[in-house]
Amino acid sequence: MSATHSFSSLLPDVILDAVESTGLWSDSRIYPLNSYENRVYQIGIEDGTPVIAKFYRPERWNEAQIREEHQTLAKLEEAGVPVVAPLTFNGETLFRHNEMFFCLSPRLVGQHPEADNLDQLYQIGELIGQLHQNLSTTPFEKRINVSPLSQMDEAANLILSGHTLFGQTELANDLQLPEKLKATYKKQIQILRDKCEASIKRYWPSQLRPIHGDSHRSNLMLHNGQFHLLDFDDCQNGVAVQDLWLHITQTENPRQQLSEIIEGYEAYLPFENRELDLVDVFKCVRVINYAAWLQSRWHDPAFTKAFAWFGSEDYWLNHLNELKNCELEWGQISR
């Protein structure tokens, strides 16, 4: 299947055929859920509870990497960590239909965390500590290892090239970073890269650990009084603070939030305070990667519809302003 049209064949009949190939019988109700990298649907089941069908974006993860994700979730669920593991049918969790990998998971109903709720931040810290404790003995063998400088370079180069990820297709000129802003962009990226490199030289863990990799609020669900971690699509070998810093939402005085998260985390594992100096590194990488992600996926019609504001001159000026703020706010967390 051409990566340019990764999900173009994913029509309702195809979705239902895929689900029913596992032995379930659908009642033909399909509800798209909020996902762009992959395609995720709630599927009604005859005389049963709806399931969640996730179709993986082709050419992103290979089969071994997806299976490692599933095996990890099964082990975590067995250990009592509140996660949502794929359903098993005849001993299998990963299936292929029309050359596309997919899995089915139970539906979880609940609410996402409140951004400034300190009690919930403590609970989130506990959950991530429990996760890291259970993952500590089983590092990923197939998944990526975090590499901030390489990721920053790759994302910045993609933006400067004006290309999408697959096939090196060039964006329309009116969507690319304007030529008149490229010198400013390169200068700002270099400033941030130098700061990131200096922070990494001061401290980088001797060994990476398995982490969730994208534990923002939308990937957490409060269900029956307990937070559950969702969507391990970005699980990787990384740094503990990667799974914590995304829950710091205050920019004026983040210390109180940070204290609650770390206190909860340390109910399970000690936290290495030197990792706080890496928060700015991961923040920079995330800001740059987000713009590069939108650009790299612009061949996908779902992106052009959902992110119609991408690519205007105002967009790129705002992106530059975000990068400048990364510089100005540097060290606020670790002070």
Q: Distance between CA 334 and CA 101 in Å, rounded?
A: 42
Whole-angstrom CA distances from 102 to 45, 84, 107 are 17, 15, 15
Which residue in the list 17, 174, 214, 277 is annotated as catalytic?
214
278 Cβ partners below 8 Å, 6+ apart? 199, 200, 203, 204, 239, 241
Residue 231 annotated among the catalytic residues of the structure: yes
Residues 207, 260, single domain; the answer is yes
Give the pLDDT score at 269: 97
What CATH number did the domain enclosing 303 receive?
A: 3.90.1200.10
Nearest-angstrom CA–CA distance, 170 and 147: 26
Same structural domain, 135 and 208? yes
CATH number at residue 39: 3.30.200.70
Residue-level pLDDT at 122: 96
Residue 335 lies in a domain: no
* 192 and 229 inside one domain: yes
Domain range holding 82? 3-106
Residue 111 lies in a domain: no
Q: Are residues 98 and 133 in the same domain?
A: no
CA distance between the termini of the chain: 50
Q: What is the pLDDT of residue 188?
A: 98
Q: How far apart are CA 275 and CA 200, in angstroms?
A: 10
pLDDT at residue number 168: 57
Together in a domain, 214 and 83: no
Total domains in the chain come to 2
Amino acid at 222: L
**Residue 165 and residue 27 share a domain:** no
The radius of gyration of the chain from alpha carbons, rounded to an integer in Å, stands at: 21
Half-sphere exposure of 29 (CA within 13 A, CB side): 12
H-type helices in the chain, by residue range?
12-20, 63-78, 118-135, 148-161, 179-202, 255-265, 279-296, 301-306, 313-328
Spatial separation of the C-alpha atoms in residues 168 and 157, rounded to whole Å: 12
Beta bridge partners, 210, equal 237
Residue 297 lies in a domain: yes
Q: Chunked in runs of 10, what are the mean pLDDT values of the chain (335 residues)?
A: 66 96 96 94 96 95 97 96 97 95 96 92 97 90 97 96 75 92 98 98 96 96 95 97 92 83 97 96 97 93 93 97 96 78
In a domain, 333, yes or no: no
192 and 307, same structural domain?
Answer: yes
The one catalytic residue among 17, 27, 231, 280: 231
Question: 122 and 100, same structural domain?
Answer: no
**10 Å Cβ neighbour count for 288?**
26
pLDDT computed for residue 167 by the predictor: 53
Give CA separation, 139 vs 105, 186, 203, 208, 311, in Å: 24, 36, 21, 8, 38
